Amino acid sequence: MKRRILYVASAVTVAAICQGPAGDIVERFRARSIEAEKKGLAEPFKGVTTNGEVVPGLFGIKSTGVTTEPARKAAEAFLSALTPEQRSKTTFDIDDPEWRKWMNQHFYVRQGVSFKEMSEAQREAAISMLRASLSAKGLQLTRDIMRLNHTLGELTNNFVEYGEYFYHITVMGQPSKTEPWGWQLEGHHLLVNYFVLGDQVVMTPMFVGSEPVIAKEGKYKGTMILQDEQKLGLALINGLSEAQQAKAILEREKKRNNNQSEAWKDNVVIPYAGLPVSEMNAQQQKQLLQVVEAYVGNMSAGHAKIRMDEIRGQLDKTYFAWVGGTAPGSIFYYRIHSPVVLIEFDHQSAAGLRNVVPNPNLPNHEHVHAVMRTPNGNDYGKDLLRQHLAKHPHPHTH
């Protein structure tokens, strides 16, 4: 596979959906995207760390005993459903920087083929690939985020920037039983990276969110996301003693967006903070793992179990931190952080709905971001890929 020319595909997509001459908006989006990528990719990938140094030896190539064949076959079927031109702009080398090229903002010029460009048969093939890779819960979350982006279009009367099908898929490597490969789904408030090596899967970074998080009217009325993640987090902080809360709560008022590991933050340094999970009792630790499971459970069941076992193995090195109120209806941020997982949940200030909410500069319940990462170098499966390439160099790898 050859490397692709940047920005062309998505710029054409933007032009196609704009009414009238679209040159100005396409060029503006292109320029902003190039600048974001230039800054975001200025440093080689290292991974999320607590002090700038990667902890070695946390991840290894091994058999999990959980098949990835359904995902491989569905990915092959998806690629086969594309036209040669679509397939050309959708496929990348396994080590391509395309893995790291994601951004929440709607204006970002994305690679690959979008649902907007796909035929109905191609969309079904794409959904089938997601279904074969994710749990039913994960697929539901993915589709509901896309639907809520349509709701945002309805609320703002802006279907140039928002819509259900403004989401792109790229495939890195060739779907294989033995060689590394993967796919990425990306768009406004949604990023899923799915790296596969044999029967191992790494599904981070994963970014999910929406504005609004509940559709109160319109085509997808009743659709809602991240309510369990919100409720379980609030239950966890309220299940702590006063002394434990004093350690866990970093700030009692939430006045800003707190997420630290979103787009272009692959190498962010986040020191451990808050309450050590080793100081929780068994019931509290169970509650914390329920929160983690709400995120990890977006993977298919077998691989989610493997991932949860990995996280349990580092429980004595895990921390829980909180910003904001603890009463029902409070606005808050929380973080679960260990050598092998970083989860952030954040009520955000208004963006697309600035003209709708009462205090647009303050975080609110109708705009939520959540992100999950694998610290210490294994986001995008990069540590597994590094180990694989050390033993099996690929001639096309740079």
DSSP string spanning 329-395?
T--EEEEEE-SS-EEEEEEE--STTTTTSS-TTS-EEEEEEEEEE-TTTTGGGHHHHHHHHHHS--T
Rounded Cα distance between 194 and 209, Å, is 18
Rounded Cα distance between 232 and 376, Å, is 26
The secondary structure of residue 314, as a DSSP letter, is T
8 backbone dihedrals φ, ψ, rounded to 5°:
-65, -50
Identify the pLDDT of residue 357: 85
Q: How far is CA 359 from CA 282, 330, 349, 350, 363, in A?
A: 40, 15, 8, 8, 8
Q: For 129-138, what is each residue's pLDDT tens digit?
A: 999 999 999 9
Omega within 30 of 0 (cis) for the link into 97: no
Q: For 61-102, what is each residue's pLDDT tens digit?
A: 999 999 999 999 999 999 999 999 999 999 999 999 999 999
Residue with tokens 């062309």: 8
Identify the pLDDT of residue 15: 43
Identify the pLDDT of residue 395: 62
User: Which residues of the chain carry a pLDDT beneath 50?
Assistant: 1-21, 397-398
Identify the pLDDT of residue 13: 44
Identify the pLDDT of residue 24: 80
Q: Measured between alpha carbons, how far apart are the two ends of the chain, in Å?
A: 13
